[in-house]
Amino acid sequence: MELKPMHYWLDDHSFAGYLLQLFGAIDNGGDGLQLIPQPLPFAQLDMDVREIFGDRRLTVVFIGHSVGITDDTKLADDAIEGCNHQYRLAVPTLQHAHTLWKEWLDLILECYRGHRGMSPRLIMPLAKVRLPRACEVKSMKTLVPVYKNMVIIYESSGESEGDDDDFVVVRSEDEVEGILDV
């Protein structure tokens, strides 16, 4: 089964325009993310993250000529080529990408609240330094569980702790998905 391409993507000018709308909402006393509708690709991301599960290498481009989430490495490379302050992170699942993207928006708005009047292009490098490092991505908690309806049950053979017969049963709803030796 071939996976469909994943791109939740905006050019940097469209993203800067969206951020300006969010900044304007904050300047008027509101919470920008609650008042301003998301661009279509990111509204689609919010729907897909609850439907598409499993490992899939994605790249989140935070600062570049285009920004967003993609599974196309060349597209991500082209987006940051020659861009000042460029930044991207590789992630193992759509749920990790979604969580990082939401955190990115929160960081941008938090920095804006402390530096009102600054443009998106000046705020983003300030927010960038507060993003997780690459080594922290896999262990981060995601907003949406990484695996749909998964329950992990630890079982033991009943013998001493550390026995090689300990195993983990992984279940999805009512079906056994697999048994893992521990």
Q: Block means of pLDDT (10 residues each) for the chain, length 182 residues? A: 82 97 93 89 95 90 97 96 94 96 97 96 96 91 79 56 50 46 42
Distance, in Å, from the CA atom of 32 to the CA atom of 109, rounded to the nearest integer, reads: 8
Angle made by CA atoms 31, 35, 37, in degrees to the nearest 5: 130
Kindly list the distances between the CA atom of residue 132 and the CA atoms of 100, 103, 113, 159, 177, in Å, as whole numbers in the listed order. Answer: 8, 9, 20, 41, 32
Distance, in Å, from the CA atom of 66 to the CA atom of 102, rounded to the nearest integer, reads: 17
Cβ atoms of 168 and 182 within 8 Å: the answer is yes
Cβ atoms of 68 and 80 within 8 Å: the answer is no
**What local confidence, expressed as pLDDT, does residue 55 receive?**
83
Q: Where are the domains of the chain?
A: 7-136, 150-181
Distance, in Å, from the CA atom of 26 to the CA atom of 32, rounded to the nearest integer, reads: 5
**What local confidence, expressed as pLDDT, does residue 166 receive?**
52
Cβ–Cβ contacts within 10 Å for residue 177, how many? 14
User: Buried b / exposed e across 83-106, counting CB within 10 Å, b at 16+?
Assistant: eeebbbbebebbbbbbbbbbbbbe
**What local confidence, expressed as pLDDT, does residue 158 receive?**
60
**What local confidence, expressed as pLDDT, does residue 18 receive?**
97
Angle made by CA atoms 127, 16, 132, in degrees to the nearest 5: 25
